[in-house]
Amino acid sequence: MIQERIFPTFLKKVTPGPKLWLALGLILSLILVKNTYYAISVMILSIVVIVLEKQFGLFKVILVAMTVLFISMYALHGCIAPNIDKVNDPVMFTIFGIRYYASGFAWATKFYLRVGPMMPSLFVIFLSIDTADLSVLMCKAGIPYNAVFTFIDSFQVITLLNKDMDQIRDAQRSRGLQTEGSLLTRMKAIVPIIVPVVASAIVKVQDQAIAMDTKGFNAKCKKTVYREFSPYKADPYFKWAGIALSVFSVGYKALVSLNVIPAFLTNML
């Protein structure tokens, strides 16, 4: 490329392919090898990496989602999980007459420690991947160009519509739209905000399609991949760590399912 690319943090220097391998390894290991200590370690390490990558500001939204999920899962499953035997299972505590069971706590842990660590770890990995670089990787992997374009453009359009939504919401507020107050007031605010956003996006489609056609989007020739990225010294470590985690997780789960080995790693409390 002509424009020099600057990578301000370590994770951004690693090329997309190895990072996706690591992401795959993390997903498979968290789903297939249900180990509390491993899951908690991944969660803590991910948050440390997020801070080092200077992404904690953006991470706050994910953190809120993780907290809400945590509270919902533990509060509800502790009382109503499907594995609770209300007669025999030990009760951890009772509050306002509602019993909180140890088996419900274990059920909540089983599911939370699958999704909870995934959120910060994948957040920091995917945030460090440039979507344009990802499109290059996908094209090189043989995915059809139109499919790659559609996938990558989704991220672009989300940013654009978000900007439109902010402008429209402010404009409607200045015209007297109430966005705070009772539930009914807030529900009434949906249509005046979202209809203009949707309509303005759809109306531009025809012109955009024609513009893309004149720029050769439907040309039958082989398309050039313009962007290139150079390998980084940490790439092989990420790639092989991801592959090793993936192979180990799948193999471990297969052997446990076939009763070849006992589940010596699984211990969701």
Partner 1 sequence: MSKPIIELKNYSYRYDNTDEIMLKNLTLSINEGEFIGVVGCNKAGKSTLCKCLVGIQPFVTGGAWDGEIIIDGKSMNETKGEGVSEIIGIVFQDAESQFTQPTVEDEMAFAMCNFGFDRETIRERILYAAKACGLEDLLGRSPFRLSGGQQQRLAVGCILALQPRVLILDESTSQLDPVGRDDIFRLVGELNKQGKTVIMVDHNIEKIAECVDKVLVLHDGNLVAFDDPHKVFADKERMNSHSVRLPQVTDAAIALRDQLDIAADLPVSLEEAVPVFQKLGQEVV
Partner 2 sequence: MAMNSVDTSKGRLRGTYIAIMIPIGVAINYIGGLIASSLGLPIYLDSIGTVVVAAIMGPWVGAISGALFNVVSALIGGNIPSALFAICNIGSGLIVGFMAQKGLFKTWWHVVIASILVALWNAATGAPIAMVVYGGIDGNVGTNLMIATMQSIGRDLGSAAFIARIPTNLLDKGIACVIAWIVLMKLPENMKSLNGAKKAA
Q: Which residues pair with 99 in a beta bridge?
A: 94
For residues 189 and 147, what is the distance between their CA atoms, to the nearest angstrom?
Answer: 35
Minimum CB–partner distance for residue 111 and partner 2 (Å): 4
Nearest to 93 by CA among 85, 109, 105: 105
Residues 35/265, Cβ–Cβ less than 8 Å: yes
Residue 253, interface with partner 2 (CB under 8 A)? no
Minimum CB–partner distance for residue 6 and partner 1 (Å): 9
Residue 215, interface with partner 1 (CB under 8 A)? yes
Distances (CA, A) of 128 to 49, 54, 201: 11, 11, 28
Q: Cβ closer to partner 1: 41 or 150?
A: 150
For residues 95 and 210, what is the distance between their CA atoms, to the nearest angstrom?
Answer: 64
Residue 1, interface with partner 1 (CB under 8 A)? yes
Residue 122, interface with partner 2 (CB under 8 A)? yes
Residue 38, interface with partner 2 (CB under 8 A)? no
Among partner 1, partner 2, none, residue 150 binds (CB under 5-8 Å by kind): partner 2
Any alpha helices (H) in 128-225, and if so which ranges? 131-140, 145-174, 183-188, 190-203, 205-214
Q: Which stretch binds partner 1 (CB under 8 A): 118-126, 159-167, 172-180, 243-251?
A: 159-167
Residues 117/42, Cβ–Cβ less than 8 Å: yes
Residues 249/27, Cβ–Cβ less than 8 Å: no
Residues 19/135, Cβ–Cβ less than 8 Å: no
The footprint of partner 2 on residues 197-236 (CB under 8 A) is 197-199, 201-203, 205-206, 208-210, 212-213, 217-218
For residues 82 and 103, what is the distance between their CA atoms, to the nearest angstrom?
Answer: 9
Q: Which stretch binds partner 2 (CB under 8 A): 186-194, 229-237, 244-252, 260-268?
A: 186-194
For residues 111 and 30, what is the distance between their CA atoms, to the nearest angstrom?
Answer: 10
Number of residues that bind partner 1 (CB under 8 A): 34
For residues 53 and 11, what is the distance between their CA atoms, to the nearest angstrom?
Answer: 7
Among partner 2, partner 1, none, residue 161 binds (CB under 5-8 Å by kind): partner 2
Q: What is the per-residue binding string for partner 1 in 161-190, x denoting contact by CB under 8 A? A: --x---------------------------
Among partner 2, partner 1, none, residue 144 binds (CB under 5-8 Å by kind): none
Minimum CB–partner distance for residue 80 and partner 2 (Å): 4
> What phi and psi, each to the nearest 5 degrees, are found at residue 61?
-65, -45
Residue 87, interface with partner 1 (CB under 8 A)? no
Q: Which residues pair with 91 in a beta bridge?
A: 101
Minimum CB–partner distance for residue 204 and partner 1 (Å): 4
Which residues contribute to the site for partner 1 (CB under 8 A)? 1-5, 130-132, 149, 153, 156, 159-160, 163, 204, 207-208, 210-217, 219, 221-228
